[in-house]
Amino acid sequence: MKRISCFLLFFLLLSHVVVADVETEAEKILKKSVGKVFTAMLDKEMTLDQKKSKVIKITNKVFGFSLMAKLSIGKAHWSKFNAKQRAEFTTFFTEQFQSFYIDKLDLFSDEKVIFKPATVVKKRKVQVPTVLLSKGKEYSILYKMSNTRAGWKIYDIAIEGVSLVHTYRSQYNHILKSGKIEDLLVKMREKNKENKFCSRRNFIKLKRGLISCSRVFLSKIRKS
Question: What is the pTM (predicted TM-score) of this model?
Answer: 0.75
Mean pLDDT over all residues of the chain? 79
pLDDT in tens, 145-178: 999 999 999 999 998 999 999 999 999 999 998 8
Radius of gyration of the chain measured on its C-alpha atoms: 20
Domain boundaries, the chain: 2-179
Q: Which of 13-22, 84-93, 157-166 has the lowest mean pLDDT?
A: 13-22
Residue 120's contacts (CB-CB under 8 Å, 6 or more residues apart) are 126
Query: 198 versus 25: which is more confidently predicted?
Result: 25
pLDDT of residue 193: 80
What is the third-level CATH fold of 2-179? Nuclear Transport Factor 2; Chain: A, (3.10.450)
pLDDT at position 117 over 70: yes
pLDDT of residue 107: 62
